[in-house]
A = this chain, B = another copy of it.
Amino acid sequence: MNKQFKSRSDILRQHIHIMFYGVNTSVGKLFDVILLILTVCSLAVIMLETVESVSMMFHRELLIAEWFFTVIFTVEYILRIYSLNKPLKYIFSFYGIVDLLAILPMYLSFFIIGSNVLSAIRSFRLFRLFRVLRLFSFIEESTRLRIALISSRPKIIVFLYTVVVISFTVGTVMYFVEGPESGFTSIPVSIYWTVITLTTVGYGDIVPHTGVGQFFATMLMITGYGIIAVPTGIVSAEIVKQKRTAGHRWQYKDKTVCHFCHSSGHSDNAVYCFKCGKKLEDSTN
């Protein structure tokens, strides 16, 4: 096919492509927002269906709404595949599979009873929400946070490692201290209790009843209290560092260097070099 002579179908494909993937175009943005609203609405429908009192009263309306969303998402899915040059890459990507799973259950419900329950997989479409961030100015902040988390990853892995080892060790000890009659029915359950305690969640569904168990629990809580400081410290330090670096970059970015004594570090509104007193020339000119 010649590049100069694009067929109608090609132009259409291009338009659809812009709609779905043109984040920086107004059409693409509008489309993103519409798809987001549709996703949220379709999720609301699925959620309401699980609330017994609502699903009793509006069974019919909810079913119609669900079919409505399924049809729309089916059209979206087909158009996405159509508009892409490498549709297979999309089909087997995370979003591709999620998009398929979001529409499949409704069609399967013709053949298998109860399969429409699976339409809750649609909730994974929520990850698309992260795309919406791009629409606003939050993307930069989002990136910064991600960088902060990524650069503290080794520290966080060491930390999680410690948490896991503590959980397994204390969990095993508590199983033998407390025993099944206190609710510590097995070592995995005991580990589950340890994590509940260490993270200060504290459901209270399993609690130690013996004095020794309560003493160990007390120790574990104070440890957890101290340990919570570590990830916070890690992330705080990372963001502080980022801020400092960003601050410096900003401060010196377009900064004039004295042409006579070559000293730098002049403040923003400096007109004369603070070292030799010569007039500064704006390097941005």
Binding site for B on A (CB under 8 A): 43, 46-47, 50-52, 117, 120, 123-124, 126-127, 129-130, 133, 137-138, 140-142, 144-145, 148-149, 154-161, 163, 165, 168-169, 172-173, 175-176, 185-189, 191-192, 195-205, 207, 211, 214-215, 217-218, 221-222, 224-226, 228-244, 247, 263, 265-279
In the bound complex, CA of A145 to CA of B196 (Å)? 24
- A129 partner residues in chain B, CB cutoff 8 A: 161, 165
Cβ of A237 and Cβ of B234 under 8 Å apart?
no
Cβ of B267 and Cβ of A267 under 8 Å apart?
yes
- A46 partner residues in chain B, CB cutoff 8 A: 172, 187
Contact of A232 among B188, B233, B271 (CB under 8 A): B233
Cβ of A50 and Cβ of B175 under 8 Å apart?
yes
A sample of 26 inter-chain contacts (CB < 8 A) reads A47-B188, A50-B185, A123-B168, A123-B169, A126-B168, A127-B169, A129-B165, A130-B161, A133-B158, A140-B154, A141-B154, A197-B201, A200-B202, A201-B202, A203-B207, A225-B231, A229-B236, A236-B239, A237-B242, A263-B269, A265-B268, A267-B267, A269-B274, A270-B274, A270-B275, A272-B274
Contact of A272 among B155, B218, B272 (CB under 8 A): B272
Q: Closest 5 CB pairs between A and B?
A: A272-B277, A233-B235, A201-B202, A270-B274, A203-B204
Interface of A is mostly: helix
- A191 partner residues in chain B, CB cutoff 8 A: 218
Cβ of A276 and Cβ of B267 under 8 Å apart?
no
- A211 partner residues in chain B, CB cutoff 8 A: 188
Closest-CB distance, A23 to chain B (whole angstroms): 17
Cβ of A145 and Cβ of B200 under 8 Å apart?
no
A169-B127, A274-B266, A276-B271 given; A224·B199 CB < 8 A: yes
Besides the known contacts A123-B173, A241-B247, 18 further A-B residue pairs in the complex with CB atoms under 8 A apart = A46-B172, A138-B158, A138-B161, A144-B155, A149-B230, A199-B225, A201-B202, A202-B204, A229-B231, A232-B233, A232-B235, A233-B239, A237-B243, A240-B241, A270-B274, A270-B275, A272-B275, A277-B278
